[in-house]
């Protein structure tokens, strides 16, 4: 059989992910902080994109439209004019902005009220820097400084040493005995107990520095920390021939110690949640306002388009590409804000009980319900609700929080799983600490009082998801 090459025409349909579509999808699922970083990066990379103000936005739009002609491609120019016409650049942020631009600029000029000057300007000390500062002020030899720096570099965020003495000796080219000497001194630096290898060693160092010499206290910390953690108090009382009241005194003394001495020295400043939108109650209705604080208002840089006539095709193609990229970014931003606003409107409509009365009135909701309501694809709703937060009259919640499964009631109706979690949390918070309520008792209470059909294992699953321990671990003896 002979092999030969043939040409053949074939018609087919396929989904093509253009760069513009990929950019729009990417912007949908970015969080607010990631979106700000992405826009700032585009401002740095695209010379035709710039941050504008309200005063000069309209003239730039007119200039951009007038200078689309000499770009060299009539079809591209027509497309870009259509983009500028349909994207409504004047309102791509303004329709959804939480406050006016004048108030934003005024607020940015006000310094942080209530903050000390050292909190504004000074960086937070790190554990490595704090220990290194003490070490260099002490009478350490150069070799001991090298060993000390190796030890400090082997600490985790809680202040524990995560390397053996032999490994540190090998890294520092020193003898294990020299490492033990430096380690002993570092463990008594501030915070006391740092560079310990186990919680027991950390607490014993603090007991030594504090001057406690009670042998029972030392034995409890050295050998019975696990028994104390699991509240096995009666065998300890029997072993040390003491009453429960005496054991309570030892426990209170141990609780004054710090099992994680390095935890207070964080690696960086905390990042607080910035809501993407606000929902306010006004009369009998709710108003949705998207948060645009800090979001730059974008426009075309007319210094490249006003009277610019590139001399060669390469320059023309470059300007054409950058202009198209800038306009698609602004269009994608507008589409993102519009989609987020429509999804929030639908969520407020479906979860009206939550916005009126709180978590206990949260009803079952799935992504398909919102997608059908706003005539969008379910995947679009999933992307726009990822990593987004909304400030409600009852607190700040992630948008995914409003989508929850259902549990059946005796009358055939349903209730949201998040509402059931809130009831379980309320029951546990009001329990007797000496006789905590069990998962089976919680299921019976939900069945009798609220007619919610729920199994014990489902209660246990919800309790674990909320970070609540079992009844045996919640029990308080003293």
Ramachandran class of 358: left when φ > 0, alpha when ψ lies in -120 to 50, beta otherwise: left
DSSP 187: T
The reply to whether 65 falls in a domain is yes
The reply to whether 178 falls in a domain is yes
Q: Are 330 and 87 in contact (CB under 8 A)?
A: yes
Q: Are 158 and 262 in contact (CB under 8 A)?
A: yes
User: What CATH number should be reported for the domain holding residue 467?
Assistant: 1.10.10.60
The reply to whether 389 falls in a domain is yes
Which run of H or of E encompasses 355? helix 352-357
Does one domain contain both 76 and 189?
no
| Longest pairwise C-alpha distance within the chain | 98
Q: How far apart are CA 370 and CA 382, in angstroms?
A: 10
Q: What CA–CA distances, in Å, run from 278 to 233, 382, 396?
A: 50, 20, 9
Q: Provide the pLDDT for residue 283.
A: 87
pTM of structure: 0.64
Does one domain contain both 445 and 347?
no
How many other C-beta atoms can be found within 10 angstroms of the C-beta atom of residue 445?
Answer: 16
Cis peptide before 95 (omega within 30 of 0): no
Which run of H or of E encompasses 332? helix 313-350
| Continuous H helices in 187-281 | 199-210, 215-223, 225-229, 233-240, 244-255
The reply to whether 365 falls in a domain is yes
The reply to whether 376 falls in a domain is yes
The reply to whether 12 falls in a domain is no
Q: How far apart are CA 103 and CA 295, in angstroms?
A: 14
* Cβ-proximal residues to 37 (8 Å cutoff; 6+ apart), any chain: none
Nearest C-alpha neighbor of 297 from the set 32, 24, 50, 102:
50
Does one domain contain both 421 and 389?
no
Per residue of the chain (478 residues), what is the pLDDT tens digit?
Answer: 678 888 888 888 877 777 777 778 888 888 888 888 889 998 898 888 888 775 554 443 433 333 333 333 444 455 455 444 444 444 444 455 444 444 444 444 444 444 555 555 556 778 999 999 999 999 999 999 999 999 999 999 889 999 999 999 999 999 999 999 999 999 999 999 999 999 999 999 999 999 988 999 999 999 999 998 888 889 999 999 999 999 999 999 999 999 999 888 865 566 678 899 999 998 889 999 998 888 888 888 777 766 567 777 788 888 888 888 888 888 888 889 999 999 999 999 999 999 998 888 888 999 999 999 999 999 999 999 998 999 999 999 999 999 988 777 777 777 878 888 888 988 998 888 888 899 999 989 888 888 888 888 999 998 998 889 888 878 777 6
The reply to whether 14 falls in a domain is no
**Domain carrying residue 63:** 19-106+322-332
Q: Provide the pLDDT for residue 298.
A: 85
Q: Provide the pLDDT for residue 182.
A: 95
Cis peptide before 191 (omega within 30 of 0): yes
The reply to whether 366 falls in a domain is yes
Q: Provide the pLDDT for residue 6.
A: 85
Does one domain contain both 228 and 152?
yes
Does one domain contain both 243 and 283?
no
Q: What CA–CA distances, in Å, run from 356 to 53, 110, 192, 394?
A: 38, 35, 51, 9
Does one domain contain both 397 and 416?
no
Count structural domains, the chain: 4
Does one domain contain both 131 and 205?
yes
| Continuous H helices in 5-97 | 19-29, 32-45, 57-66, 74-86
Does one domain contain both 144 and 243?
yes
Q: What CA–CA distances, in Å, run from 364 to 115, 359, 368, 396, 418?
A: 43, 12, 12, 19, 9
Starting at the edge strand found earlier in the chain, the sheet holding 395-398 runs 285-290, 277-282, 389-392, 395-398
Does one domain contain both 164 and 44?
no
């Amino acid at each position: 059989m002979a092999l030969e090459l043939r040409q053949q025409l074939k018609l087919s349909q396929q989904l093509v992910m253009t760069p513009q579509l990929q950019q729009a999808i990417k912007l949908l699922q970015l969080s607010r902080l990631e979106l700000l970083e992405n826009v700032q990066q585009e401002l740095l990379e695209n010379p035709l994109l710039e941050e504008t103000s309200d005063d000069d936005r309209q003239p730039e739009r007119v200039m951009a439209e007038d200078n689309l002609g000499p770009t060299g491609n009539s079809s591209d120019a027509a497309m870009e004019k259509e983009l500028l016409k349909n994207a409504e650049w004047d309102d791509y942020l303004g329709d959804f902005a939480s406050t006016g631009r004048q108030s934003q600029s005024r607020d940015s000029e006000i310094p942080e009220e209530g903050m000390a000057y050292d909190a504004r300007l000074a960086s937070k000390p790190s554990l490595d820097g704090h220990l290194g500062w003490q070490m260099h002020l002490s009478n350490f030899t150069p070799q001991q400084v090298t060993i000390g720096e190796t030890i400090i570099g082997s600490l985790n965020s809680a202040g524990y040493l995560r390397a053996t003495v032999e490994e540190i000796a090998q890294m520092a080219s020193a003898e294990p005995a020299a490492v033990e000497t430096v380690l002993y001194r570092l463990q008594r630096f501030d915070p006391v107990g740092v560079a310990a290898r186990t919680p027991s060693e950390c607490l014993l160092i603090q007991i030594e520095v504090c001057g406690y010499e009670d042998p029972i206290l030392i034995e409890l910390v050295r050998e019975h920390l696990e028994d104390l953690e699991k509240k096995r108090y009666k065998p300890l009382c029997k072993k040390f021939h003491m009453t429960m009241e005496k054991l309570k005194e030892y426990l209170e003394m141990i609780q004054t110690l710090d099992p994680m001495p390095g935890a207070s020295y964080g690696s960086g400043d905390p990042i607080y949640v910035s809501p993407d939108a606000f929902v306010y109650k006004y009369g009998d209705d709710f108003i949705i306002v998207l948060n645009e604080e800090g979001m730059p208002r974008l426009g075309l840089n007319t210094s490249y388009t006003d009277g610019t006539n590139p001399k060669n095709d390469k320059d023309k193609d470059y300007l054409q590409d950058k202009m198209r990229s800038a306009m698609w970014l602004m269009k994608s931003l507008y589409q993102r804000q519009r989609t987020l606003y429509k999804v929030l409107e639908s969520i407020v409509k479906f979860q009206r009980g939550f916005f009126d009365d709180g978590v206990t009135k949260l009803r079952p909701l799935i992504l398909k319900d919102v997608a059908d309501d706003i005539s969008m694809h379910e995947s679009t709703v999933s992307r726009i609700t990822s990593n987004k937060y909304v400030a409600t009259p009852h607190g700040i919640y992630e948008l995914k929080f409003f989508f929850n499964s259902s549990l059946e009631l005796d009358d055939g109706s349903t209730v949201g799983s998040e509402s059931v979690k809130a009831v379980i949390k309320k029951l546990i918070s009001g329990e007797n600490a000496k006789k905590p309520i069990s998962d089976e008792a919680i299921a019976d209470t939900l069945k009798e009082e609220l007619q919610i059909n729920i199994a014990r294992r489902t209660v246990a699953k919800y309790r674990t998801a909320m970070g609540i321990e079992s009844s045996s671990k919640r029990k308080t003896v003293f």
